[in-house]
Amino acid sequence: MSAASAPAPMSGLAGLSPADANDGARLMGVLMSLAGEVFVLKAEVQRLRLALREAGAVDDAALQVAGASPAMAAWMADEEAAFGRALLRPFTHPDEAPDVSARMTQR
């Protein structure tokens, strides 16, 4: 595949303008969402590791084996695709709001 025919590394973000205040706000929303997810997930993983270790149920070696399993690889592929779509939604579906016009009354 030549460089000219290669897909853009961030397809769906073509036309992103750093000078556009709406794009800046969307990008900040993406960053804040990621930061929140990272913090919450790190805390959850640590809490589960501590609970499992203290209960004698699972040790770090067992977690490594589970992490290399085909089931984990399949889950990771599905989750990566879903997460990517959700993360980029403010850019791929900007300013999306439900259509409530059918519920509006005319005077």
Please report, for the chain, the start and end positions of each structural domain, with discontinuous segments joined by +. Answer: 25-87
* Encoded tokens for 101: 């016009």
Query: What pLDDT, on the 0 to 100 scale, is given for residue 71?
Result: 95
Contact between 91 and 10 under an 8 Å Cβ cutoff? The reply is no
pLDDT of 7 higher than 50: no
Query: What pLDDT, on the 0 to 100 scale, is given for residue 102?
Result: 75
Contact between 14 and 67 under an 8 Å Cβ cutoff? The reply is no
Banded pLDDT at 76 (limits 50, 70, 90): very high
Crossing angle between the packed helical segments 70-92 and 21-55, to the nearest 10 degrees: 160
Report the pLDDT averaged over residues 33-41.
Answer: 90
Contact between 94 and 17 under an 8 Å Cβ cutoff? The reply is no
Alpha-carbon distance of 101 to 105, in angstroms, equals: 8
* Encoded tokens for 60: 């770090």
pLDDT of 73 higher than 90: yes
* Encoded tokens for 55: 């209960």
Q: What percent of the chain has pLDDT over 90?
A: 33
Query: What pLDDT, on the 0 to 100 scale, is given for residue 89?
Result: 79
Alpha-carbon distance of 76 to 82, in angstroms, equals: 10
